[in-house]
Structure 1
Amino acid sequence: MASKDQKQGGGFFASIASSLSNFGNAMHKSVNGLLGYEGLEVINPEGTAEDAEEEAQRGRWRQEDRDSYWKMMQKYIGSDVTSMVTLPVLIFEPMTMLQKMAELMEYSTLLDKADECEDPYMRLVYATTWFITIYFPYQRPWKPFNPILGETYEMVNHGGITFISEQVSHHPPMSAGHAENEHFTYDVTSKLKTKFLGNSVDVYPVGRTRVTLKRDGVVLDLVPPPTKVNNLIFGRTWVDSPGEMILTNLTTGDKVVLYFQPCGWFGAGRYEVDGYVYNAAEEPKILMTGRWNESMSYQPCDMEGEPLPGTELKEVWRVADVPENDKFQYTYFAHKINSFDTAPRKLLASDSRLRPDRYTLEKGNLSKAGAEKSSLEERQRAEKRSREANGQQFIPRWFDLTDEITPTPWDDLEVYQYNGKYTAHRAAADSSNSIDEVDVRSIEFNPWQYGNSPVV
């Protein structure tokens, strides 16, 4: 949960503090006991030798790898390791952060329902649940690749959505994304801040996330909880996101405050999410409860946060079927966005799918993937030297840096705004009658603005 200082750091966070205090007891009284979630998973938060052995049997970490990595990483304890450390490819998954941003689109029909919904509080139930769905794939313990400056990811062919994301800054690493269909637009500027604690790392989602529902022009703003990656080096690696998620309707002042329970010994409380939809007067209207790896449900409540007589708990979302024993614990949708099935015609050469390190890791060749990763990072450094020597400044293609600085619980954030150019580019590419169609798999990855320019 956010600290007292964080809540007092800005007007928005101060304004919700009183509602959390007033309704916190009711939340735990009515919601936690409502379904009787008592499912326990045997998780030792500290990790054991047996856990480490099981990880080794999965073919990722060998004990000698862990020992060597631990010796290298000890000097960074207490530091932000977002971009200052070169990490071994064996802890990566074959996906970039730009692609991971697109995973949120799997259950986009929830936003379609929010746009169509007449009830302002149910609208927030649908929208908040949509944001919760991303935590199921976020439990994967492997790290996505940091995008190269200028790298992009495009997605079409899913729910009428057009999605574009771009790496807009290298130091600090920042990404921007935009998605749109007939019901909503989604805009995000993302910057991660980390704190390495030895055998764990805290990840703070410094970012601004906005959804606009098109029918009524309602604007929703998200503040997600932080994430903690446990047993990073020793023991079985697992991910938890304890704390508050706050979704605010900036148009009306209504909001949702959900609490993600921390994982205790033997897995007690892990995955559980409880909270309320509040009106602008901070009165609870609908309780929400569930598990972020399984399902979410809702029920109308009274002023004390208790379920209204004559109402029942209704399920609003349940996780889709997933492949069994998948090597990277990917969902079917994760495989889909990692393939060319969701790629548009005339794919940008800067697209993440084309990265040779990502592709090689997907094929299981860790040694070659590591070499490809090092090569890309060196080319990025060389491009920066050349650019600076010529007095050139990197300028993102699809997003513009604004003058807006937005506060978050963890740091101030420079905001990037979608400039609309990709929409025009995609329309032109899709309407082209050129017969010179190129097999996208043959395109060479090329995010560089200077020297060899990407083909667009």
Structure 2
Amino acid sequence: MPLLLNKVGDDGRFIDALPEGGYPFTDEEDIKKQRKGMWDIMKKLGTNLVEGKDLVSVSLPVYLFEPRSFLQRLTDTWAYYDQYLPIAAKTDDPILRLALVISFGISGLHQTCIAKKPFNPILGETFEAVYTIDNTELFVEQISHHPPITTWEMKGEGYSFTGQAGYQANIRANALKASQLGPNIIRLPKYDTTIIYEQPIVWLKNVMFGSRVMEYYGNMKFEDRASGLTCDVKFNPDEKGFIGRWFGSSKKSPSDTVRGEIKDSYDQVVGTIEGSWLGYVDFTDSASGQTKRLWSIGHNMPNYPQAIPNPLPSDSRFRPDAIALAQEDLELSQQIKEELENKQRREKRLRKGLTE
């Protein structure tokens, strides 16, 4: 289930975050089950087939799952929307407006620190929900089976948040890397602008052995097209190369550090973003030199959507395999899951036959 990581250390980061960076998984029972599942898959497919294979297409045993669909899980990362998007929709300063959207994008990343996997959505599956704090409506739908693509729409006062995401995940050398591919789009009609950003890459270290740690790496690129502002937020920006690790003398920041420069259309720095995806986001306005903490894991409280009454029959909450898992009937859940997967494969072959 979603995390409430509200205990922080002196550095503003989640108190259990590793000093060198990253989120540690410490539930040995869950880790043991997951490793058994991966070894079973390797025995079935062969190690060489698993290495580098897109795991999105691999069928996994239900004891590795939580009783939710990915459509429901996806919304966890938007848990702080109410503290940023409605405010951005009324903020005249385009630099601060972009900083608020950046804070929204970064603040929810720690919500993905969940050991268990959600169920892969079925083609046509939906999730309808509402944020009761302000009656903001949310609709999520799975529009493609292979490749898997999810699309969503959130409508609030003065803004909309839409997007679509494809997914890739593979294992190489005891590490799992996963990507959410596709644009996140925030429209602010009052300012006739659209802000688009991308997600960073998830890096789960020590999947098969060793102490398991979750990291993000790469960049999140934000673009405000109307104002010409951009920001390239770098994860683990102080990472040194091979030579730097041997000869560098400066102290390295934790690997969960994030840092970026907001630049105008003339490539001039007009603001900076710095913090940790496991702790906080600070924004500094270059003109005034003032720094403001826009997000703190210890003070900002998350807000999760509630499923609406009487949703479409395709809603995630009606999935029989997830319901069986929630009732701790693993045998029935596994049976239904396999039936649904086989049904999707048959329907895919039918669709392919109709288009050839």
Alignment TM-score > 0.5, same fold: yes
- Of residues 157, 168, 171, the one that matches 1:182 is 157
Distance 1:90 1:136, change over 3 A: same
Note the 1:267-306 alignment, pairs <5 A.
Answer: 269-301=254-286
- Aligned-partner SS, 1:241: strand
1:127 matched to 2:104: no
| 2:6 corresponds to | none
Instruction: State how far apart, in whole Å, the 1-side matches of 2:161 and 2:125 are.
Output: 19
Note the 1:45-444 alignment, pairs <5 A.
Answer: 55-58=27-30, 61=33, 64-65=36-37, 67-72=39-44, 74-109=47-82, 110-158=84-132, 159-261=134-236, 269-301=254-286, 308=289, 311=290, 313-319=291-297, 333=303, 337=305, 342-385=306-349, 391=354
Distance 1:64 1:120, change over 3 A: closer
Per-residue CA deviation, residues 265-320 of structure 1 (Å, 9 max, x unaligned), is: 9x961321112222221211222211212221212236xxxx83xx3x32111236
Distance 1:215 1:84, change over 3 A: same
Per-residue CA deviation, residues 63-115 of structure 1 (Å, 9 max, x unaligned), is: 65554344345132443424431112222222222123322332112011111
Worse-superposed segment, 225-234 or 346-355: 225-234
Shift of 1:254: 0.4
Instruction: State how far apart, in whole Å, the 2-side matches of 1:219 and 1:287 are.
Output: 20
| 1:430 corresponds to | none
Worse-superposed segment, 107-116 or 285-294: 285-294
Instruction: State how far apart, in whole Å, the 1-side matches of 2:34 and 2:72 are.
Output: 28
Instruction: State how far apart, in whole Å, the 1-side matches of 2:295 and 2:62 are.
Output: 35
Q: Which amino acid aligns with 1:283?
A: Q
Shift of 1:392: 8.3
Higher strand share: 2
Per-residue CA deviation, residues 322-369 of structure 1 (Å, 9 max, x unaligned), is: 9xxxxxxxx975xx54xxxx2223211111111122233334443332
- Aligned-partner SS, 2:221: strand
Q: Which amino acid aligns with 2:62?
A: V
Instruction: State how far apart, in whole Å, the 2-side matches of 1:117 and 1:142 are.
Output: 38
Instruction: State how far apart, in whole Å, the 2-side matches of 1:196 and 1:314 are.
Output: 39
Shift of 1:147: 0.5
Structure 1 residue runs of 4 or more that deviate by more than 4 Å after TM superposition: 35-40, 42-45, 62-66, 262-265, 385-389
1:41 matched to 2:18: yes
Q: Is the 8 A contact 1:140 1:239 kept in 2?
A: no
What's the TM-score, normalizing by structure 2? 0.80
Q: Which amino acid aligns with 1:258?
A: V
Per-residue CA deviation, residues 199-257 of structure 1 (Å, 9 max, x unaligned), is: 22222322122110122121011122222222223234332111211100011210122
Q: Is the 8 A contact 1:184 1:214 kept in 2?
A: yes
Instruction: State how far apart, in whole Å, the 2-side matches of 1:122 and 1:165 are.
Output: 29
- Aligned-partner SS, 2:275: strand
Higher relative contact order (CA 8 A, sep 6+): 2
Q: Is the 8 A contact 2:77 2:109 kept in 1?
A: no
Shift of 1:128: 0.6
- Aligned-partner SS, 2:99: helix
Q: Identity over the aligned pairs, expressed in percent?
A: 23
Q: Is the 8 A contact 2:13 2:278 kept in 1?
A: no
Q: Which amino acid aligns with 1:257?
A: D
Kindly report the root-mean-square deviation, in angstroms, between the aligned alpha carbons of the 2 structures. 3.4
Distance 1:69 1:385, change over 3 A: closer
